[in-house]
Amino acid sequence: MLPILFLSPMQSMADHAQEVARQMGIDIHVKVAGDAEALDAVRAYPGIEVVVSRGGLAEIVQQLPDLSVVEIAMSPNELLANMSALTAQGIRRIGIVSRANLFMGAVGDFHIQDVEVRFRPQSDEEGIRSTVKKFVAEGVEAIIGCRVAFETARERGITAIFLQSGPVSIRKALEALADYMHLHSDGLRLTIEEDEGLVTVGLAVDSGRPVPIRQGVELALGFIHRSLHQLLGRSWRPRAISFTHAAPARRDAHRRFFGTNVEFGQDCNAIVCFARDLDAAVPTSDPAIARQIQRYLDAVAPRRNATMRDNARECIYLTLPSGLCSADRVAQHLGVDRRTLHRHLAREGETFSSLLDAVRVELATRYIGDRDRPLASVAELLGFSALSAFSRWFRSRFGYSVSQWRHSASGAAMPPTRLSSRSPAPTASPPRRR
């Protein structure tokens, strides 16, 4: 990992950075310095390649050559939380003063109901001090800002809040997990969908071949649930848990672990919870360290051997249950036109139809093993417009009907022949009863 220096304007922020780094097992240097000491502080660490800082400190450090500087910008959640705390005290005139890069260029006066908020980004410390003094003279009751604004306001005897680096939300953490899940396993896909105040965290497993995945799915969803439970507190409970596979003989263990009713034979593997739960802050997060980690993950995130076939297969897998899977839609998702998609697949000895067929084979072997799942539901999940179309496809692909398979398989979930997108349609008989 690159040598990192976290340059902080306040000791409290430095302490927080050290604690987060310790919890994450990351070795970083942390230094508290004002604007005047910033350059000397960095020079005291000759092996440093990356400096993480904010506001005026970040601007000053950028003067040094051959050094990467990661700037911390203020998050909307951080600002709104501070404003809410002030208004709860009856304060109605708030001034927000800091370096321009901390506000991403925000400037102006705003009124939120009976609360007046003034944004005044400044280019230097003297501008910050004079602006705070002017605000105090004009009757501003509280200041939110950088270290200089905070100290100037306190000297003038009015309420002041120092802009700490706010924590990220649990939703952001999950979105990052979804983006980088493939680094842990190429076969795992995490999706996050919100509708009318509820969020569905869905898990898909693309193993590339028809194999049993029940244990892996339950383990992965259990890990996500346990992570949410630790972040949101012991009292948190999801609204619902669902699995695509059939229910076990007893559901007691699942109910105890998840703390809620668990449904089986559903359309997706998912955790459903309130959207407001995921908007809660992660208390131990630090945007500075998180951004550096993201830079590292972005460097290794592209799958080393990913091909157009791999990417197209993933798109098919994720869009098939929606009934919207088509060559045009997959090509659009991959940022190419349909002809380009077909051309790339042809170079790899594939067609869109062969990939679609292979994904359907893999999913079909999972779904039909659940005898309680209606065949109409299976047909819909595989993207068929009618049960009759699914039945014809299944017979042509496996050599026998779904009913024959279910009758003869005695609960087995896989056809007797391993299939791939290049395999011819099998003609083997259904497995015999044991």
pLDDT in tens, 380-424: 888 888 889 999 999 888 888 888 887 765 544 444 443 434 444
Measured from the Cβ of residue 213, the count of other Cβ atoms closer than 10 Å reads: 19
Largest CA distance in the chain: 90
Residues 315-353: tens digit of each pLDDT: 888 778 777 788 888 887 777 888 888 988 998 888 999
Average confidence score pLDDT of the chain: 75
- Distance, in Å, from the CA atom of 172 to the CA atom of 188, rounded to the nearest integer, reads 19
Structure letter (DSSP) for residue 402: H
Those residues whose C-beta lies under 8 Å from the C-beta of residue 413, and which sit 6 or more positions away, are 212, 365, 366, 368, 369
Assess contact for 67 and 49: CB atoms under 8 A.
yes
Nearest to 54 by CA among 153, 159, 162, 131: 162
Give the three-class secondary structure for 333: helix
For 76-162, CATH number?
3.40.50.10660
Does the domain at 308-409 match CATH 1.10.10.60? Answer given as yes
Judged on CB neighbours under 10 Å (0-12, 13-18, 19+), 229 is middle
Architecture of the domain delimited by 4-72: 3-Layer(aba) Sandwich (3.40)
Q: Is-contact 341 352, C-beta < 8 A?
A: yes
pLDDT at 288 over 80: no
Q: pLDDT (tens digit, 9 = 90+) per residue, 19-69?
A: 656 654 556 788 888 888 888 888 888 877 778 776 677 778 888 877 777
Q: H or E stretch including 318?
A: helix 308-319
Say how far apart CA 266 and CA 338 lie, in whole Å: 33
| Digit-coded pLDDT (tens) for 230-275 | 777 777 889 899 998 888 888 888 988 898 889 998 888 899 988 7
Domain ranges of the chain: 4-72, 76-162, 170-278, 308-409
Is residue 378 a contact partner of residue 401, using CB atoms and an 8 Å limit? no
pLDDT of res. 272: 92
Is there a shared CATH topology between the 4-72 domain and the 308-409 domain? no
Phi and psi, residue 70, nearest 5°: -100, 115
For residue 235, what are the contacts with CB-CB under 8 A and spacing of at least 6? none
Q: At a CB cut-off of 8 Å and minimum separation 6, what does 162 contact?
A: 10, 12, 145, 146, 147, 150
SS3 407: helix
Global pTM reads: 0.41
The residue whose two tokens read 């791939």 is: 420
Report how far residue 410's alpha carbon sits from residue 407's, in angstroms, rounded to the nearest whole number. 7
pLDDT surpasses 90 at 135:
yes
